[in-house]
Structure formats: structure tokens, C-alpha cells
Amino acid sequence: MTTPLGEQLATWLDALGLGAHLGEAGLPTYERDAAGHARWTDPVTAEPLSTQQLQQLDALLRSQGEDPDHAVPLPLLQLKRRARVRADLLEDEWLTYAALAERRGASLDATRFSVHKDAADRRLLVLREGPDTVVPAFQLTEDGTIRPELEPVLAPLLAAEMDPWRTWAWLARPAALLGGQVPEQAVRDPEESEIVVRAAIHLAARVVIGGAG
């Protein structure tokens, strides 16, 4: 069933680029049929949304901001931003278990065991992307070993259980705490390494105090 309100909501979310993030936020989702009409679905029952449910969803999405007609649902914007950050980071070099094993000249099982141990010891940042385990390559030397100067930078961030994608972004992108330097690059300089470590400790403390990764 399509309704004017359902079309209005879908068009608004399409314009904001937020439609793809509804499901991740636990909200009703919509798909467009062959005629281009939005068909909304309840995430629990998988049934079409009723008019009352659409009205409730509309009120929820427009509940933030001073002007309800132009309010933007902040949680969806945050999801969109995180998705964009992930996509950007995945443009960088990263390794699967198999690729890392090849770089190290080691067996797949030995590499998998080593990665698990290093991650548990807070020496290596490891992420999940779909079915893959992702090891950002900036942490490694050309032969696949962990860069020793990065370990004291990684340790406080991993101990704070900071979101791993946020950790990758902070390490591999210009950081405000370092005046725009890229942490993983700046730490190579012996004169800058202590500053980078202190910045990582400061950031980790903020994560712990704030209670959010």
C-alpha cells in the first residue's frame, strides 16, 4: 500500500541519502516498486505499515531540531557518516588472513593464530567487514610484522575499547589533537612519537569517561 505520507517520507529520506540506513537503525524500511512507489515495511512483522504507523514514524524522524518541517534525524545522519567513513577507510590498503600470510611467508593457520593473539594483546587493530577479517596495512612493515613504534599508540585505544573504525580513522587521518598530523605517520619521527602516544592516551581517556567508543 502506498500513501501520500509514505511517498513524502521516502522522497525526503532519498534527498538526504538516509534511506539505506533505516534498517540499521531498527526503523521501518521502504522499497520502491516497479512504478517507483515507496512501500514501507514493519521491521518486526514484515507487514506493510499502517497510516498510523507512518504518522508515528514521521513524528519520530522530525522530532529533532527547532523546525519539525526541516529537522534532520540525527541518528540516521550519524549512521550515514559512519558508513561513509568505512567506505573511505576501505579505500586504504588492508589485508585478509590470506594476504597477510603471503606477505609473511607463513601458513594461513599460523597467521590467523598470530593475528588473534596480537589483537588480544592490544598490539594490532583488527576489524570485521562482512565475512572478512580486515587488518589495516599501515600497522605493518613490508614483511608483515607489526611496527614497534605503533604499539604504544594502539595499546591505550584498544584498551579503551574505542570503536575500531573510529580508531582506524584517528590513526590514519589528520588528527586535531596533533595539529592536523596523521598519527601513524607522525609516530615514525622520534621527536614526535611521545606526543602521538600522549594524544592517544588522552583520546582513550575521553572514550572511557564518555562511555562511548
Q: What is the pLDDT of residues 89-110, one digit of tens each?
A: 888 899 999 999 999 999 999 9
Asked if pLDDT for residue 135 goes beyond 90, the answer is yes
* Structural domain includes residue 89: no
Give yes or no: residues 100 and 194 share one domain.
yes
Q: What is the pLDDT of residues 106-132, one digit of tens each?
A: 999 999 999 999 999 999 999 987 788
Give yes or no: residues 108 and 204 share one domain.
yes
Give yes or no: residues 78 and 103 share one domain.
no
**Cα–Cα distances in angstroms (integers) from residue 114 to residues 100, 106, 137, 151, in the given order:** 11, 10, 15, 15
Q: What is the mean pLDDT of the chain?
A: 86
Report pLDDT for 16.
77
Report pLDDT for 67.
46
Q: How far, in Å, CA of 115 to CA of 122, rounded? A: 10
Q: Which of residues 14 and 142 earns the better pLDDT score? A: 142
* Structural domain includes residue 123: yes
Q: Are strands 38-41 and 94-95 parallel, antiparallel or unpaired?
A: unpaired
* Number of domains the chain is built from: 2
Q: What is the pLDDT of residues 18-71, one digit of tens each?
A: 788 787 777 788 899 888 999 989 887 888 898 888 888 888 777 665 444 555
DSSP code at position 65:
S
What is the pTM for the complete model shown? 0.64
Report pLDDT for 124.
96
Give yes or no: residues 78 and 100 share one domain.
no
* Structural domain includes residue 88: no
Provide the domain limits for residue 51. 4-82
Give yes or no: residues 203 and 105 share one domain.
yes
* Structural domain includes residue 162: yes
Would you say how long the chain is, in residues? 213
Give yes or no: residues 77 and 136 share one domain.
no
Single residue among 48, 82, 116 that ends a domain in this structure: 82
Report pLDDT for 73.
64
Give yes or no: residues 106 and 15 share one domain.
no
Give yes or no: residues 116 and 139 share one domain.
yes
Q: Cβ(164)–Cβ(125) under 8 Å? A: yes
